Amino acid sequence: MGAEVGATTSTFPYTPNMRAYLHATGRAPVAHAADQAATNGFLAADEGVEYDEVIEIVIFRFLCGRSRG
């Protein structure tokens, strides 16, 4: 979604919602790998970092009501 708002890079910290989504879409092995990476300190926002701009996108709003055909 970052490209749609003109971003050249996007970061997405790993969250419980992401884990649930991966399981719900049949990607449990990916969720397991992400869980292990998160346990080792990866997939999280850098502490104390300041970004030029933060844009929060609620993806659910973009998915609901759209045709999947």
Residue 1 has pLDDT above 90, yes or no: no
Q: What does pTM read for this prediction?
A: 0.58
68 located within any domain: no
- pLDDT for position 28: 96
Contacts 24+ apart (CB under 8 A), 34-43: 38/14, 43/13, 43/14
2's CB contacts (< 8 A; 6+ apart) are 8, 9, 10
Count how many domains the chain has: 1
8 compared with 64, residue with greater pLDDT: 8
Per the CB < 8 A criterion, the answer to whether 19 and 49 are in contact is no
Which tens digits make up the pLDDT trace of 20-48? 999 999 999 999 999 999 999 888 877 88
Average pLDDT, the chain: 81
19 located within any domain: yes
Tokens 């933060």 belong to 54
Residue 35, domain CATH: 3.40.1060.10
- pLDDT for position 69: 47
Full domain range(s) for residue 10: 2-63
